Amino acid sequence: MEKKNNCHRFKNKICLVTGSSMGIGLAIATRFGEEGATVIISSRNKANLEKAEDSLEALGIKYDSFICNINDKVERVKMLNKIKEKYGRLDVLVCNVAVSVYFGPTIETTEKVYDKTFDTNVKNTFFTIQDSLELLKVSKNSKILILSSWSGYFPSPLIGIYSVTKTALIALARILAQELAHHGIRVNCMAPGVVKTKLASALVDTEYATSNFMGRYAMPEEMGGAAAFLCSDDSSYITGETVTLNGGQHGRF
């Protein structure tokens, strides 16, 4: 099977996408690869990672892969050290790992669920960026993309704590963009609405997923195009911004 995209914005680029064995992460990695990148995918699930490898191979995409629980600092640093040894740098880092482990009234959220959601969605994202900074600085023109959510602007009571973590990521992107600009690193954020993925499976067939101008939910591949724009030099004067992808629904406070 041939690659679909003939654009070469990521030729000779090294792009790490975390949580990329399926869904939005794999769609972003695929788009980068179609545009010439060597994509590095990671997941803690070996079987899912192997399926992703098969998908990339079928498209003729250059890739590397790591079984890695990105929430575990030891595993995360071990992966980054291997990337350093093999490639010496990172041109793009996409922080995509997230969980939503509770669906119900926010006030009934348990401490265990609260901690897991914040640790995975916010703490993990911050420290993945911090641990990757040495490799990103080598590039002199690197990009970081954080995956937030439209619920970060308009939280849903049924996914309340998840929504709060996604609001935090919008703020994180803005402050890191300011702090890292002098290193030549741009930091942006994407806030998708409901995308047909395993994570959003409980929302896909609800009114929440279609209450936008276009009247439908999104497919993972539609996230890949926006990510490619934000992580390429086509967006060279954009940093600290959050792009909402929700079929026309407003995404500002």
Token representation of residue 46: 């070996």
- pLDDT score recorded for residue 157: 82
pLDDT tens for 124-140 read 999 999 999 999 999 98
- pLDDT score recorded for residue 253: 47
pLDDT tens for 107-129 read 999 999 999 999 999 999 999 99
What lies within 8 Å, CB to CB, of 100 at 6+ separation is 117, 159, 162, 199
Residue 136 phi, psi (nearest 5): -70, -35
> Does the pLDDT value for residue 5 go beyond 80?
no
Q: Is-contact 152 132, C-beta < 8 A?
A: no
- pLDDT score recorded for residue 203: 58
Q: Is-contact 62 33, C-beta < 8 A?
A: yes
Q: Is-contact 235 39, C-beta < 8 A?
A: no
- pLDDT score recorded for residue 1: 47
Q: Give the β-pairing of 186-192 and 38-43.
A: unpaired
- pLDDT score recorded for residue 197: 64
* The 3-state secondary structure of the chain, one letter per residue: CCCCCCCCCCCCCEEEECCCCCHHHHHHHHHHHHCCCEEEEEECCHHHHHHHHHHHHHCCCCEEEEECCCCCHHHHHHHHHHHHHHHCCCCEEEECCCCCCCCECHHHCCHHHHHHHHHHHHHHHHHHHHHHHHHHHHHCCCEEEEECCHHHCCCCCCEHHHHHHHHHHHHHHHHHHHHHHHHCCEEEEEEECCECCCCCCCCCCCHHHHCCCCCCCECHHHHHHHHHHHCCHHHCCCCCCEEEECCCCCCCC
pLDDT tens for 47-84 read 999 999 999 999 999 999 999 999 999 999 999 999 99
Superfamily of structural domain 14-245: NAD(P)-binding Rossmann-like Domain (3.40.50.720)
Please identify every residue annotated as catalytic: 162
- d(CA 126, CA 189) in angstroms, rounded, equals 13
> Does the pLDDT value for residue 201 go beyond 60?
no
Closest among 175, 212, 174 to 194, alpha carbons compared: 212
- d(CA 21, CA 42) in angstroms, rounded, equals 7
Average pLDDT of the residues in 166-193: 97
- Considering the chain, what is the average pLDDT of its residues? 90
- pLDDT score recorded for residue 76: 97
> Does the pLDDT value for residue 103 go beyond 70?
yes
